[in-house]
Structure 1
Amino acid sequence: MAQSQQELISLPSISSTCADRARYPDRPYNHGETFFFHELLEDLFNPLNENKKKPTGPAAKRGPAKSNKLTPHEARRNIIQKFISRWRKEVGNDIHPALRLIVPEKDGARAMYGLKEKAIGKLLVKLLNISPNSDDGYGLINWKLPGQAAPTKMAGDFAGRCYDVLSKRSMRQGYGDMRVDEVNDLLDRLSHTQEEKHQLPIFQKLYNRMNAKELMWLIRIILRQMKIGASEKTILNLWHPNGEALFEISSDLRKVCWELTDPTVLLDGDQTGVTIMQCFQPQLAQFQMHDFQTMIDKLGVTSDNNEYWIEEKLDGERMQMHMIEDDSVPGGRRFRFWSRKAKDYTYLYGSSFEDDNSALTRHIKDAFDPRVTSIILDGEMITWDPETNKIVAFGTLKSAALSEQRNPFQGTGIRPLFRVFDCLYLNDKNITQYPLWERRNALEGAVKNVHQRLEIHHYQTANSADAIDPALRKVIEEASEGLVLKNPQSIYQLNSRNDNWMKVKPEYMTDFGESLDCVVIGGYYGSGHRGGGLSSFLCGLRVDENHMAPGTNPMKCWSFCKVGGGLRAGDYAEIKHHTSGKWKDWDRTNPPSQAEFVELAGGDRQHEKPDVWIKPCDSVVLEIKAASVGASDQFRTGFTLRFPRFKKYRTDKDWKSALSLSEFVALRSRVEKEAGKNKEFKVDSKRRITKRLKKEILIAGNDNKVKTPYAGPKTKLFDGLSFCVMSEMIHPYKKSKAQIEQAIKENGGAIFQSATAKEGIICIGDKRVVKVASLMKSGLASVVKPIWVFDALKQAEVDGFDRQRLLLPYEPSHMFHMTEELRESVEGNVDDYHDSYARDVTPDELKRILDDMIHPKNYEFSANAFLSQLEERGHGLGELPGSLFSRCVARFVSLKTSNSETDSDFLIAKNRFLFAGGVEATEDNEEIVTHFVVQNESAEMMRVLREELAARRGRLPRIVRLKWIQDSWSEKTLLDEERYAVTI
């Protein structure tokens, strides 16, 4: 391990040509024809899809089919294993043709098609010879939009819309006769053409030989959006025990299939390391939520080994460069470049010193020591501006590289710059097991800086946590992304995110970010479970007098940011309720009526153009949290928010009181001045909690004062509404008719004794008394249970009284009787398990809901490993919560009860918290707890909680109900804790 830099450089090399010949000496060849394409559907896709819908908790155990004892997890493995066994028997040991179609997003050997949903929609319109303005044609091209041609259930599901259209015009009713090999050949041809005139004949052949179901799955393969309920890890490990391990270090599906043919022959250690000219999954920096001293402790800095390194975190694209001697290429050196997600960028940055299409390699002929015969470098590809000597925003990297390809020696334009921070392979030797300081010595001996083309990334040594603050302050002043702390004694761990590398970014720190009130001016339709509705919103700033040109509409707004994170279903429902019927389709021709109210960046290019827009006077105001503000040419204001997240809906504000351009400029100036002051940076791991005092009230009929939960002030929640209470309340507790009427009147409602006394009256009843039965028989009105009144009052207090005028929508459990006209609307206010989108359910309701929910079962699951995989895959999060709670350290405060089901509910929520990246408090991390999560709000629970808090020192964490975890999990976004705060 202590081998010197000179020895590393002088290690002998082998001929790359010989290596290529020997790469797959035992490549398998199949003895039979590949399966028909429809057999993938029948034997794999459809069974896995159906299995995905099965419950995994107690509901599964209570299923009627006693003969089927397999859990969904076991059934999934059984389906895949059966398919693999049949393939080995009937086809052979080369499963690569099938896997290219089963997990197409992992097939690095096939180029991207350059086809998105809209482009495929246009191809199908031409193929089917239908008008783009017809219902079906319009639905294909505008697949996210709901409408008559595409019902809401199909909106956002492009493949589903294609099936709907193709099934009416299919060339075949039964399955087609195309085999897997034939499909792969056509897809290879499709990936090598970017012109419609060549793409259309390929689609024509597929259309002629497949039915609508096959074409639907083929479109999912082209879009690389399979979602069949099984990951590549499961499939590869069932093919071979080393399948996933080899894929992690190679990112090569073909390598896995061709080298791992016999499941009884396992790889040794030397075969699972980095290999020249073979992409691998890089090591990543760990997220942190601790104070600086805790970070240093976790890095392993001790009195005996007290040095660590600080590097600037670069805003670019993680890149690995492979170089090997090869006399067959001009210049004698052959290159390959791969991104973190295993995308091959050799076409862009160059394959040799003499590559005419190179944006980089032609400029770095002097970068390597003559003794270097092969090398793998790990670094960041950034965009550099020679005129300002600064890094340019990451989004410009590809355009800068393409410009450099066309004008390689212009000298002054922005260009790609490769900043190298690690060397992993040198002269045919894998050096990942060497400590970082030795790898750095090898790097500095093997590579020389080429100004503004390829440079070794600078680092500074430090011995204490005190060095982080000034370094972070410096990068913030330079608008950089943050810092990376590294342990110089650490080895390089492939596909790992561990404590040897830690990143510190401004958005993790306190004193950054403001809550801003912005006007919604546009909307974007979603896909998946948000299909058919607006999933994110374009927000703008008011153009005030200081920025208004003569003759400008005083209601005009400039585009400022997009927000979609943090919104729960109830928030979407509220926004929809207040803006329904006021949205207009965005017209790219930009007629005057549209331009008068909304102005985008980019002129005619219309950056970030929404699907629909709305006049500010008809719109709503959202309060948005942000980590920081950065320059952006994608928004008309010239800047935008980094990591914007919805906080709350401002019912107390209209567009006139929302943030203006001048107000924002002043606010930004103030924040920048404060950021420049000598304030200590602290990681945002502890948040202030606001306590609310309880009141003691006197219960009628008692001589003594009885402490009860604070009932809250009287509100105007029911102001303007008329009620007719026709019976007492029976469920879930008893209330007299007089008590119900008193609750309504105290909160602004008007009481009438006749259901027909006024138009629009709300009829309340919980028993089939004469009045209720008569109303139900007439079919003229619905009857609402009294519990809705008290649920509405309770939720108004939970949500904050600035939102009190937003009435709780009716749910099926609130209705004693429903008219058919109201039924669809009411049923849409709960999910499939009858869990409310807009209110907090009671423990009894929660118990009933969880009885039918999917419960986590596999407790051997490694949350950390899974989160690392999610980070590697970026957009592969899909419907999963991912790392929702990755910055949270929670103490769970509970009482053992006699009700095992209640304890089970608590355990489920806790396991979901841990699964989604949360950390449970222990003695080691007690000082950095961010949340107290309580099981219920009983008197005994409050006593235990007060004892816990009394023993703590320093600032208090957030105290939230268990519902915060459950709702964040359900909504797949981290919700604002203020809605779930517990008062003690």
Structure 2
Amino acid sequence: NSHRLNLTDQKKAIISKFYENWRKNVGNDIYPVIRLAVPKKETDRLYNIRETVLINLVLKVFNLNKNSDENRLLKNWKNQNANFKFNKYESLITLITTVITQRQSTVNGSEITIDQLNDYLDKLAFANLSQDDKIKIFSDLFNKLNSLEIKYFLKIILKTSVVQNTDTLFLSCWHPDALDYYSVACNLEKLCHKLLSPSKRLNQKELLISINQPFFPELASKPIKFNEITKKFDNQFIIETKLDGERSVVHISQDSNGNFKFKFFTRHAKDYTYLFGDDIQFGTFSKYFKEIFKKDINKIKNLILDGEMLSYDINRNVILPLGYLKSSLLEETFKLEKLQTNQRDQNNPNNLVYTNSRPLYVIFDILLLNDQPIYKYRLKERKKLLNELINPKPGYIEIIETENGATVKDIENSLKNAIENNLEGIVVKDINSRYKANERSPDWIKVKPEYLEEFGDNVDVLIIGKINSKKPSFICGLRVDDSESKKFISFCSVSNGISESDLKEIESLTYDKWYNYREDLPPTDIIEFSKKIPDFWIKPEDSIVFEIKARSIENGMVAKDYVTDSTLYNLYMKSIRRDKSCKDCLSYEEYLEIKLIKDSIADKRKNRQTLDNNNENFSNNIFSQLIGKKKERKRKRNESDDEEDEFFYLSLESDIFAGYCFNILSDYKFNNHSRRVYKCDIEKIVRRNGGEITKSENVGFTENKNLVSISNISTRNTNLLFEKGYDILSPKWIMDCVKHKKILSLEPQYCYKVHENVLKEINSRVDEFGDSYFLQTEVAQFHNILK
């Protein structure tokens, strides 16, 4: 009767039948199977083998050199025309399996048992295993597994779903309490050994969050419209800053001797206690907890706190990006070791290391206190208890600041403040909600601004039209959600950033899905265009999503070409989002909220600039951040600023570059970084002043041409040219030559990457302060020298 069941029910039936046979023929210990079936939930084995390492191991197993077709195929697996909608590794796994099966003798399968495979995987997870040992294990397995088994093995190694959408089914089909217990235990082995018979159910106490047992913390759900948030939370909520750190759940308990011990777990239930310390006296970071309790610490039997571990820059009083956290911990550990050494060696009292950064723990929830399940309390009650219990230690352990909210305006103001302070976003929480472990809860909603240069992320838009030309461009649209219809309206056009391989992939994914606009107009309840119309259009459900980056929003005349009446300026396609459909891209309503915030910020900055012009001391104002303070940087104009504009240089013409051929490798930013001159404009400036443009370095060997390579960023091309003996100059040299209408002698300010023999000659042209012996000093430079 399988044809009567939907796909999920069919999977349930197959898994349940397998379990029935397993219990009958093997027994009640399902752990050897579960850890293979749901590798993402297997925390005991860490292989540290990601895509690149896996590819290199496969190539070495079969002695394939770097020039082989297989090497090129595997190294470029992301560019293959594959649909990653369900599994981003599917293309890589398919390619590797093909390479392996082409080189192995016929294998029918069943040559290896479950226990044997687990033994191999245990060896691969051994931390000190050499690469040669890994190659031997891979070689043995490739000779014993058939093509389907190889695919499963690769998925296990990459920690991805072996069979799509079955991770929860493998647990729930084994025992009715398995999912609930896993949410508070996070350990497959413990789960399998505790839940042996489906008829034996767990009591409520066994399904509680408990001390020193890792669990998956509550996570925020994806954004919804602001008015929906206020309605959903009945106009009662709190707003917190979204922090850029490592989610950290801290367990504190007393042992039998009355000593306080600590456990630190991440959001993935990984134990990081070895980094932060388990002792309240000498732990790397745990030692700071002894100073934060308002009441007698000895009255605390056990405690669980939920928060974010950040990296805090002591000197600059700012929060560093997430990647700095581990280095902060290592510095703190090194400092502690030096302190302990110093305590042992009183003859060396200055042997301390003072570091620039350290961990900072920001607490936003309390879940358990003296065996009482506080997480069952409402959020407002948990917040009150947290503030009654904890006395923050600034710069070490703090409680997150919260704002009470009730309206859409409250959310907008908080988000604007987060954007202005370069923070990641905000989290809006239902004040009456209870904590939900192992759940992306609808009671916590994260609000992150979409990308528009000032913000920090990207926008996802849907292709709705195509304009054919030598370089095709695509008209992209926004989703309109209302009660009457769901259609897409034109928003922007993009051609930059789309490579030949991207075009081939787009053609492959949308083949035979295009309609001729002039012969077959799109229904206006599905797609709507304005002045700019395509040659071809495509139905939303057949189309693909682009991830777009842009400099800003454009409200000028060009915006009238689109239904949205505004568009994106200076945009390019960053990537094709194979994992998203038309339902997942940016909606028009979401865009209007972003635009409103952006316009408000622009007005605020304009007002600040007006104040700046009327008040010389305005630039000394300090704007508060969540933690620490940040001085807003203000651009001060000087006499040369009017010339810091690409249009000034494009307006000049001469023949000063006659006989010179330029290889332009990068854009150019002026000293104050307020403007960028793009490669194409630098090339125009060169041509207008008698120079030629080339993409090849070989022109430099001709008799009548002087090749000049220009760049101010390190790229593969600049490094290759430098290795070949070429010197790389800064685009500033071009700009200053044009401004002075003559070829200027080279000085250090014009050199990006030059060889030592050249640099020695160039350095002789300036004094010890870098001031030129030959070039005239301009007024702005003179002001800087006086400063």
Within the alignment, does 1:345 sit opposite 2:272 as a pair? yes
Which residue of the partner structure matches residue 375 of structure 1?
303
Which residue of the partner structure matches residue 390 of structure 1?
318
For residues 10 and 241 of structure 2, the distance between their equivalents in structure 1, rounded to whole angstroms, comes to 48
Give the letter for the 1:566 counterpart.
V
Pick from 183, 188, 196 the counterpart of residue 248 of structure 1: 183
1:74 counterpart SS class: helix
For residues 452 and 111 of structure 2, the distance between their equivalents in structure 1, rounded to whole angstroms, comes to 60
Give the letter for the 2:264 counterpart.
F
Instruction: Check conservation: 1:400, 1:414, Cα contact below 8 A.
Output: yes
Distance change >3 Å, CA 72–CA 486, structure 1 → 2:
closer
Which residue of the partner structure matches residue 32 of structure 2?
97
1:216, distance to aligned residue in structure 2 (A): 2.6
For residues 274 and 654 of structure 1, the distance between their equivalents in structure 2, rounded to whole angstroms, comes to 49
Which residue of the partner structure matches residue 171 of structure 2?
236
2:43 counterpart SS class: coil
Q: Deviations over 1:920-951 (max 9, x none)?
A: xxxxxxxxxxxxxxxxxxxxxxxxxxxxxxxx
Within the alignment, does 1:361 sit opposite 2:265 as a pair? no
Which residue of the partner structure matches residue 321 of structure 1?
250
2:49 counterpart SS class: coil
Instruction: Check conservation: 1:384, 1:414, Cα contact below 8 A.
Output: yes
1:563, distance to aligned residue in structure 2 (A): 6.1
For residues 313 and 355 of structure 1, the distance between their equivalents in structure 2, rounded to whole angstroms, comes to 31
1:163, distance to aligned residue in structure 2 (A): 1.5
Instruction: Check conservation: 1:193, 1:199, Cα contact below 8 A.
Output: no
Which residue of the partner structure matches residue 492 of structure 2?
648
Instruction: Check conservation: 2:211, 2:251, Cα contact below 8 A.
Output: yes
Equivalent residues in 2 for 1:101-250, closer than 5 Å: 101-111=36-46, 113-146=47-80, 157-170=91-104, 173-193=107-127, 195-226=130-161, 228-250=163-185
Pick from 433, 455, 459 the counterpart of residue 398 of structure 2: 455
Pick from 340, 355, 361 the counterpart of residue 418 of structure 1: 361
Pick from 18, 23, 26 the counterpart of residue 83 of structure 1: 18
Which residue of the partner structure matches residue 584 of structure 2?
884
Instruction: Check conservation: 2:180, 2:207, Cα contact below 8 A.
Output: yes
Within the alignment, does 1:565 sit opposite 2:493 as a pair? no
Within the alignment, does 1:429 sit opposite 2:273 as a pair? no
Instruction: Check conservation: 1:144, 1:156, Cα contact below 8 A.
Output: no
Give the letter for the 1:338 counterpart.
F
For residues 789 and 431 of structure 1, the distance between their equivalents in structure 2, rounded to whole angstroms, comes to 61
Instruction: Check conservation: 1:795, 1:808, Cα contact below 8 A.
Output: no
Instruction: Check conservation: 1:172, 1:210, Cα contact below 8 A.
Output: no
Give the letter for the 1:319 counterpart.
S
1:459, distance to aligned residue in structure 2 (A): 3.1
1:267, distance to aligned residue in structure 2 (A): 2.1
For residues 441 and 836 of structure 1, the distance between their equivalents in structure 2, rounded to whole angstroms, comes to 51
For residues 284 and 654 of structure 1, the distance between their equivalents in structure 2, rounded to whole angstroms, comes to 34
1:135, distance to aligned residue in structure 2 (A): 1.6
Equivalent residues in 2 for 1:513-592, closer than 5 Å: 514=452, 565-568=460-463
Which residue of the partner structure matches residue 333 of structure 1?
260
Q: Deviations over 1:138-162 (max 9, x none)?
A: 3233333459xxxxxx997111112
1:96, distance to aligned residue in structure 2 (A): 1.4
Give the letter for the 2:181 counterpart.
L
Distance change >3 Å, CA 83–CA 271, structure 1 → 2:
same
Distance change >3 Å, CA 465–CA 121, structure 1 → 2:
closer
Equivalent residues in 2 for 1:936-975, closer than 5 Å: none
1:376, distance to aligned residue in structure 2 (A): 0.8
Please list every run of 5 or more consecutive structure 2 residues that lacks an aligned counterpart in the other structure.
82-87, 337-351, 479-489, 499-511, 546-576, 591-787
Q: Deviations over 1:348-385 (max 9, x none)?
A: 333444777x4x32544434523223211011122222
1:263, distance to aligned residue in structure 2 (A): 0.7
Instruction: Check conservation: 1:308, 1:488, Cα contact below 8 A.
Output: yes
For residues 351 and 490 of structure 1, the distance between their equivalents in structure 2, rounded to whole angstroms, comes to 32
1:241 counterpart SS class: coil
Distance change >3 Å, CA 69–CA 469, structure 1 → 2:
closer
Which residue of the partner structure matches residue 695 of structure 1?
none
Instruction: Check conservation: 2:467, 2:534, Cα contact below 8 A.
Output: no
TM-score (normalizing by structure 1): 0.45
For residues 141 and 114 of structure 1, the distance between their equivalents in structure 2, rounded to whole angstroms, comes to 19
TM-score (normalizing by structure 2): 0.55
Equivalent residues in 2 for 1:364-763, closer than 5 Å: 364-367=289-292, 369-407=297-335, 410-444=353-387, 446-460=389-403, 471-486=414-429, 488-496=431-439, 500-507=443-450, 514=452, 565-568=460-463, 648-650=492-494
For residues 420 and 2 of structure 2, the distance between their equivalents in structure 1, rounded to whole angstroms, comes to 67
For residues 164 and 288 of structure 1, the distance between their equivalents in structure 2, rounded to whole angstroms, comes to 41
Q: Deviations over 1:457-478 (max 9, x none)?
A: 2335568777666555544432
Give the letter for the 2:101 counterpart.
S
Which residue of the partner structure matches residue 617 of structure 2?
none
1:387 counterpart SS class: coil
For residues 4 and 497 of structure 2, the distance between their equivalents in structure 1, rounded to whole angstroms, comes to 58
Which residue of the partner structure matches residue 726 of structure 2?
none
1:483, distance to aligned residue in structure 2 (A): 3.8
Q: Deviations over 1:288-346 (max 9, x none)?
A: 64556x75564356xxxxx7644333232322111222369xx9433322222334333
For residues 155 and 791 of structure 1, the distance between their equivalents in structure 2, rounded to whole angstroms, comes to 40
For residues 886 and 371 of structure 1, the distance between their equivalents in structure 2, rounded to whole angstroms, comes to 52
Distance change >3 Å, CA 250–CA 808, structure 1 → 2:
same
Give identity over the alignment, percent.
29
Instruction: Check conservation: 1:122, 1:141, Cα contact below 8 A.
Output: no
- Which deviates further from its counterpart, 795-804 or 92-101? 795-804
1:428, distance to aligned residue in structure 2 (A): 2.6
For residues 586 and 218 of structure 2, the distance between their equivalents in structure 1, rounded to whole angstroms, comes to 18
Distance change >3 Å, CA 836–CA 363, structure 1 → 2:
closer
For residues 119 and 191 of structure 1, the distance between their equivalents in structure 2, rounded to whole angstroms, comes to 14
2:253 counterpart SS class: strand
Instruction: Check conservation: 1:310, 1:462, Cα contact below 8 A.
Output: yes
For residues 188 and 461 of structure 2, the distance between their equivalents in structure 1, rounded to whole angstroms, comes to 36
Q: Deviations over 1:537-566 (max 9, x none)?
A: xxxxxxxxxxxxxxxxxxxxxxx9996833
Please list every run of 5 or more consecutive structure 1 residues that lacks an aligned counterpart in the other structure.
1-65, 148-153, 302-306, 508-512, 517-559, 580-618, 626-645, 656-783, 810-829, 840-876, 891-984
1:84 counterpart SS class: helix
Give the letter for the 2:153 counterpart.
L
Using CA pairs under 8 Å that are at least 6 residues apart, name the structure with larger relative contact order, 1 or 2.
Answer: 1
For residues 515 and 585 of structure 2, the distance between their equivalents in structure 1, rounded to whole angstroms, comes to 34
1:222, distance to aligned residue in structure 2 (A): 0.5
1:397, distance to aligned residue in structure 2 (A): 3.3
1:129, distance to aligned residue in structure 2 (A): 1.9
Distance change >3 Å, CA 97–CA 136, structure 1 → 2:
same
2:97 counterpart SS class: helix
For residues 221 and 63 of structure 2, the distance between their equivalents in structure 1, rounded to whole angstroms, comes to 53
Q: Deviations over 1:646-704 (max 9, x none)?
A: 953347x999xxxxxxxxxxxxxxxxxxxxxxxxxxxxxxxxxxxxxxxxxxxxxxxxx
Instruction: Check conservation: 1:387, 1:412, Cα contact below 8 A.
Output: no
Pick from 50, 65, 73 the counterpart of residue 8 of structure 2: 73
Which residue of the partner structure matches residue 667 of structure 2?
none
